[in-house]
Amino acid sequence: MKRVAYVLGLPVVLFAAWYLLSAGSESFYAPPLSKILESFGKTWTLDRFTADVVPSLLRLTAGYAVAAVLGVAAGVIIGLNRWVRATIEPVLEFFRAVPPPVLVPVIILFAGIGDGMKVIVIAFGCVWPVLLNTVEGVRAVDSIQIDTARAYGITGPARIGRVILPAASPQIAAGLRQALSIAIILMVISEMFAASNGLGFTIVQFQRSFAIPEMWSGIILLGLLGFVLSLLFRLAEGRALRWYHGLREAQRRS
């Protein structure tokens, strides 16, 4: 009971404060919350959802999936091979440091302004955290584990699939988590640049046409989306890495 009060207390207070303080708001840019909520219901109907939110989410998923697969695959190769790693490290450091959104103009040159562009932008931006974390994870695999596997004759795909990837998975998950927030940012940015549908496009459209309550409702929706996606990720990670969190817990107690 007390926990519920703690969890819900402040959000309820903040929400109420926003509601009451903005109730009589005459400001054009900060309309009353009641008006924003009203327009939220009116704006984000089912049609709107299938027309704008679903395409955005599909691009997000496609780009994220491509980045995850490429990042883990390349990360394992680079992580296992000391020569490749030493050669390619400075190049990777550079690419990771480039702010991903500046790649949008470049990718527009190559891929036009269609869905392909957005997927490539998301994939290109997300691949670096996954890749670098995978490299680190693979490097940090316990050498006794590797030697034991070798002694038992575990080689080739089995070695990668059963020894290296599981051992590196906590680190890979950290990379995937960072990539998720980059993916959302890039989804919105790429749609703000050039698009005919999507969440980012719609919100900018509202802003340009000075549909302020609708714009606020879009910002709230985007916030909810970010929250829900990170919640889903946490649940998935918690399930997949149950063994790891249990191990950590046990180590901490002993």
Chain positions contacting another protein, by CB under 8 A:
6-11, 14, 29, 82-83, 85-91, 93-106, 108-110, 129, 132-133, 135-136, 171, 174-175, 178, 181, 184-185, 188-189, 192-193, 200, 203-204, 206-207, 212, 215, 218-219, 222-223, 226-227, 229-230
**Least distance between another protein and beta carbon 207 (Å):** 4
**Least distance between another protein and beta carbon 68 (Å):** 16
Closer by beta carbon to another protein, 58 or else 174: 174
Asked if residues 200 and 189 have their Cβ atoms less than 8 Å apart, the reply is yes
Extract the tokens encoding 223: 């916030």
* Residue among 196, 197, 198 at smallest CA distance from 225: 198
Closer by beta carbon to another protein, 181 or else 197: 181
**Least distance between another protein and beta carbon 78 (Å):** 11
Report the run of H or E that residue 239 belongs to, with start and end.
Answer: helix 212-240
> Which backbone phi and psi does 56 adopt, to 5 degrees?
-60, -45
Closer by beta carbon to another protein, 8 or else 158: 8
Closer by beta carbon to another protein, 149 or else 221: 221
Asked if residues 172 and 139 have their Cβ atoms less than 8 Å apart, the reply is no
Asked if residues 44 and 225 have their Cβ atoms less than 8 Å apart, the reply is no
Extract the tokens encoding 97: 């440091």
